[in-house]
Amino acid sequence: MSGLVTRNRLIGLALAALVAILDQAVKLWVVGPLALRQVGQIELLPFFDLTYAENRGVSLGMLQASNMEMRWGLVALTAGIALVVLVWMLRERKLGDIAGLALILGGALGNIKDRFELGYVIDYADFHIGTFRPFLIFNIADAAITIGVLIILARSLLVRDKGAIETGDTPRGEQHNA
């Protein structure tokens, strides 16, 4: 069993690295060859554009870093959260849980790199229905974080620990009346 757990954790680390690398590669492509910073917006589909944005805050534009102290504070805060996610991921055993955490970790690393080097996160994905925008402009890292959180929530709400039930252990908060 421990070989499988080690394998799952290595898969998680590889997935986190892949997300971070893919995020950075697309950001380089968007600001480099596509010159989105200069162009501003490229219409791709009736419901999806590439729109250049610099996010100096965190989720939903909260905690805006308006000075250097706040910028480095956000770098430290997000790095601390990423470290907690890494430790959590390395403690998990099941690939489903590890994969969700790996998506969160990889996304966080991609955005931390931007904030560390640039002082802001590059966003470009602009999903819309006419003038209605259900999301703020985002990037691959943001999407990976969101999907990872949804996986963790779904697994925590829908997946029961069958090992505990099979061995006769009672789930927390439940007692057997004998």
Q: Where are the beta strands (DSSP E) in 112-168?
A: 121-127
CA 137/CA 12 separation, integer angstroms: 27
134: left (phi over 0), alpha (psi -120 to 50) or beta: alpha
Q: For this structure, is 123 an active site residue?
A: yes
Q: Where are the beta strands (DSSP E) in the chain?
A: 41-45, 48-55, 121-127
Q: Annotated catalytic residue: which of 97, 142, 161, 169? A: 142
Q: Report whether 104 contacts 142 (CB < 8 A).
A: no
Q: Annotated catalytic residue: which of 114, 123, 126, 169? A: 123
60: left (phi over 0), alpha (psi -120 to 50) or beta: left
By DSSP bridging, strand 48-55 and strand 41-45 are antiparallel
For the annotated catalytic residues, the residue numbers are 123, 142
